[in-house]
């Protein structure tokens, strides 16, 4: 299930602003850049580099997994703009469980 439209981070300028002015949190597989915004809803973006995951099908699958997990915990994210970036390739056999664990620990550490 995709993120609601009001929660999607769009536009190169917003991504650049977050990378330039945002804070960073690192997990085992993910890097999170985040900053406060004046938007009514949290804005979330995903980056899965082609140099890390070669096939577009796998990149899109990882983005869908990220979006699904973030949507479950969307109420914990305040008025922030967040970009989740995949840092390293995932083992094929257990990618879902590892990403989910990484997201939960990072979001938990950021907002509690």
Q: Tell me how far the alpha carbon of residue 78 is from its chain's centroid.
A: 14
Confidence of residue 111 (pLDDT cuts 50, 70, 90): low
Q: What is the pLDDT of residue 49?
A: 93
pLDDT tens digit string along 17-60?
Answer: 999 999 998 888 889 998 988 878 889 999 999 999 899 998 99
Q: What is the pLDDT of residue 19?
A: 92
* Length of the chain, in residues: 112
Q: Where are the domains of the chain?
A: 5-111
pLDDT tens digit string along 66-78?
Answer: 888 888 877 777 7
* pTM as predicted: 0.84
Residue 62: which of 24, 81, 32, 89 has the closest Cα?
Answer: 89
Which fold would CATH assign to domain 5-111? Answer: Ribosomal Protein S5; domain 2 (3.30.230)
CA distance 75 to 56: 30
Q: Do 45 and 9 form a contact (C-beta atoms < 8 A)?
A: yes
Residue 76: which of 98, 109, 46, 102 has the closest Cα?
Answer: 109
């Amino acid at each position: 299930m995709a993120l609601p439209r009001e929660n999607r981070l769009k536009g190169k300028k917003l991504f650049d602003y977050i990378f330039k002015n945002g804070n960073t949190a690192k997990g085992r597989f993910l890097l999170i850049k985040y900053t406060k915004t004046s938007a009514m809803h949290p804005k979330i973006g995903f980056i899965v580099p082609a140099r890390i995951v070669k096939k577009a099908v796998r990149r899109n699958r990882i983005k869908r997994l990220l979006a699904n997990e973030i949507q479950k915990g969307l109420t914990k994210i305040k008025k922030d703009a967040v970009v989740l970036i995949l840092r390293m390739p995932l083992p094929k056999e257990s990618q879902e469980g590892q990403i989910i664990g990484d997201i939960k620990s990072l979001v938990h550490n950021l907002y509690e």
